[in-house]
Amino acid sequence: MKLLLHSICVLASLVALLVHPAGVSSQATAQEHIVSPQVMQQQMQLSSAARQKNIATVTEFLSSDMADHAIRSAHMDPMQVRSAIPTLSDQELANLAARSADAQQKFAAGGISSTMLLLIIVVVAIIIIVAAIH
C-alpha cells in the first residue's frame, strides 16, 4: 500500500512538472523584460539629445558679457566654469538648465532685477565648480 501511494505521488509530481515546466514560466517572464535594441538605441538618442540641449542652455546662460563680469567678480574663471558644464551628471545638468532658463525668462519679463540675475549666475557658476570637483 505504501509503495502504491508513493508511486502515485511520484507520478503526480512528474505530471505536474510536465504540465507546468519551471523553465517555461521563467522564460516567459524574462522575455517580458527584454528591451529590443531599437528601443534601447532610441532611448539613448533621446537621452543624449536632452543632455546636449541642457549643456547648450547652461552654456548660453553663462556666456553673456553680464555673466562673464559676474563670474569674474566672484573671482572665478568664466572659461573654467563653462568647460566644467559637460562634467555634470544628467540630473545636475537638467536641474541647472531648468533654473537657467527660468532665470532668463523671468529677467526678460522683468520679474527679476539685473542684480538678482547676477546673483543667480554666480550661484550657478559655484554649483558647477563644486559639482565638477566632486
Alpha helices in the chain (DSSP H): 2-19, 22-32, 37-61, 65-73, 78-84, 90-108, 114-133
How many Å separate Cα 44 from the centre of its chain?
A: 11
Residue 24 C-alpha cell reads as: 517555461
Q: Inform me whether the pLDDT recorded for 28 exceeds 50.
A: no
Provide the pLDDT for residue 46: 79
Residue 34 backbone zone (phi > 0: left; psi -120 to 50: alpha; other: beta): beta
Measured CA to CA in angstroms, residue 24 lies from 29, 34, 37, 66, 81 at distances of 9, 15, 23, 65, 55
- Taking only the tens place, the pLDDT of each residue in 57-115 is 999 999 999 999 999 999 999 999 999 999 999 999 999 999 999 999 999 999 999 99
C-alpha cell at 9: 505521488
Quickly state the pLDDT bin for 30 (edges 50, 70, 90). Answer: very low
Q: Is the Cβ–Cβ distance between 58 and 101 less than 8 Å?
A: no
Q: What residues does each domain of the chain span?
A: 52-133
pLDDT of res. 33: 64
pLDDT cut 70: percent of the chain above it: 75
pLDDT, greater one: 21 or 45 = 45
The more confidently predicted of residues 20 and 122 is 122
